Chain A
């Protein structure tokens, strides 16, 4: 069965550095999402992406964050000038065509980001 894959599984970065988290969604999916879960807290929505542009973003997704679909297969989350509070598990998800919110989302295994 097709899967959403995320790399790396664990990323350790110094505070202030930039980090790029990578995701390969399922190939025929059209809606893409990033979520994060800070340890001990709820999963939080960051951003949704459709038709090569951001369709919705949360209050968390400020100018520090950006997303890109550079080559039609990868979907990346860039975090500039990382802070300690960016340490979290970051999940990518994708869903098929046809009114994205009404379709089940397929999640990757996540990238654990640790900021030192």
Chain B
């Protein structure tokens, strides 16, 4: 079983702060990295699918980068808002299967 690690486990920031967190994944037989936003009592919502080394994707105030050689992806949130509070989950596709991290739980205080 391959291991996907996310850090930090949780994060508390003030409204307006910018923040970032990390997803580390195995680089062997890697095909894609998925990022999800998961609010409590809801289903995970897809943010980005990243495949190529050096990929950068952006959706509003949220952006992500990918380094497939060293096996990590960063997710950035610029000017956090209370509605950004959620768990951010990554999943790596290696050897034809998805492997999930434990998520980073973000709490943005107004």
Per-position binary interface string of chain A over residues 9-50, scored 1 when its CB falls under 8 Å from any chain B CB and 0 otherwise: 000000000000000000000000101000000111100000
B100, A104: Cβ atoms closer than 8 Å: no
List residues 86-113 of chain A with CB under 8 A from any CB of chain B.
Answer: 91, 101-110
Which applies to chain B's interface (DSSP): helix, strand, loop or mixed?
strand
B97, A58: Cβ atoms closer than 8 Å: yes
In the complex where A43-B100, A45-B97, A45-B99 touch, is A102 in contact with B46 (Cβ < 8 A)?
no
Taking residues whose C-beta sits less than 8 angstroms from the other chain, chain B's interface range is: 20 to 34
A26 to B104: give the CA distance in the assembly, Å: 28
Taking residues whose C-beta sits less than 8 angstroms from the other chain, chain A's interface range is: 20 to 34
* Of B61-69, B71-79, B88-96, the one touching chain A: B88-96
A4 at the interface (CB under 8 A from B): yes
Contacts of B96 in A (CB 8 A): 55-56
B19 at the interface (CB under 8 A from A): no
List residues 17-49 of chain B with CB under 8 A from any CB of chain A.
Answer: 31-32, 34, 36, 42-46, 48-49
Hey, which bits of chain B sit against chain A, CB under 8 A? Answer: 1, 4, 31-32, 34, 36, 42-46, 48-49, 51, 89, 91, 93, 96-102
